[in-house]
């Protein structure tokens, strides 16, 4: 999926008046590419990711996914795009801790009303891709952080999205687990041509991308 932001501005209202977070951000992310976004805490990285992910809307400007301006689409359309076409990976995994690995991966496919045989087959395929098929029936809270993040990646891929948005996916992981998680993301990008947009504070993680962008003072620069 290709992503284009045209002159995006984002302000939040506060008692002291509007707070400017993103100022005139224009960005093109080609289909199948892998880009990283860096910048100081509070610089608007999560805000930018949430705009692309249809979780939030800009104050002004366009957010174009393929050829559709999702910033100005209705909520039902945005919800459908989120479920069907975008996979999310978060710093704290956001898994359901008492469900099994398999159940967590199957969940988005149930929400998308996929047939049971197809969901089960796909969940096995995805768990193999992240190296966790042997763990399918364990509760996720019995896995390590790195393993849980790989379950989260399998879940993000459940409905075969064309875009993965990852917000500090290695923020809670040690060096070894970080490497495993990044290799999984890189390999999905390489083999399935899924576009990946990743936010990180770690330059070694950012370096997995073809292109690194920096946000500071509401402005975007490429490095
Ligand atoms: N819903 C909101 N209402 C008001 N202000 C907000 C809201 N969400 C974010 N902000 C403000 O917008 C700015 C950017 O926040 P954002 O979460 O995008 O930063 P970030 O770059 O992801 O930071 P971090 O690296 O700490 O995750 C911050 O000043 C934050 O306080
Ligand atoms: Mg953030």
- The 3 state secondary structure assigned to 83-128 is HHHEEEEECCCCCCCCCEHHHHHHHHHHHCCCCHHHHHHHHHHHHH
| Ligand 1 pocket, CB under 6 A | 12, 19, 21, 39, 41-47
137-192 pLDDT, tens digit each: 999 999 999 999 999 999 999 999 999 999 999 999 999 999 999 999 999 999 99
Task: Judge whether residue 223 has pLDDT over 80.
Answer: no
Q: Whose CA is nearest to atom 1 of ligand 1?
A: 12
| Torsional sign, CA 81, 83, 85, 90 | positive
Question: What is the domain-level CATH number for residue 165?
Answer: 3.40.50.300
Q: Whose CA is nearest to atom 30 of ligand 1?
A: 42
94-115 pLDDT, tens digit each: 999 999 999 999 999 999 999 9
* Number of domains within the chain: 1
pTM over 0.85: yes
Domain span including residue 172? 3-222
């Amino acid at each position: 999926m290709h992503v284009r932001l045209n002159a995006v501005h984002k302000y939040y209202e506060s008692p002291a008046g509007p707070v400017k977070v993103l100022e005139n951000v224009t960005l093109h992310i080609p289909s199948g590419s892998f880009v990283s976004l860096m910048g100081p805490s509070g610089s608007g990285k999560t805000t930018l990711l949430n705009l692309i992910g249809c979780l939030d809307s800009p104050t002004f400007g366009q957010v174009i996914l393929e050829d559709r301006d999702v910033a100005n689409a209705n909520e039902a359309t945005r919800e459908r795009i989120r479920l069907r076409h975008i996979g999310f990976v978060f710093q704290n995994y956001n898994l359901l801790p008492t469900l099994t690995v398999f159940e967590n991966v199957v969940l988005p496919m149930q929400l998308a009303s996929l047939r049971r045989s197809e969901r089960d087959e796909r969940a096995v395929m995805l768990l193999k891709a992240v190296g966790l098929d042997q763990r399918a029936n364990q509760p996720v809270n019995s896995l390590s952080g790195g393993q849980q993040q790989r379950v989260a990646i399998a879940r993000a891929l459940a409905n075969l999205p064309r875009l993965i948005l990852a917000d500090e996916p290695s923020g809670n992981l040690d060096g070894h687990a970080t490497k495993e998680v990044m290799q999984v993301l890189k390999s999905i990008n390489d083999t399935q041509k899924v576009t990946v947009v990743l936010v990180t504070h770690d330059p070694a993680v950012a370096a997995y991308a073809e292109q690194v962008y920096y946000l500071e003072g509401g402005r975007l620069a490429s490095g």
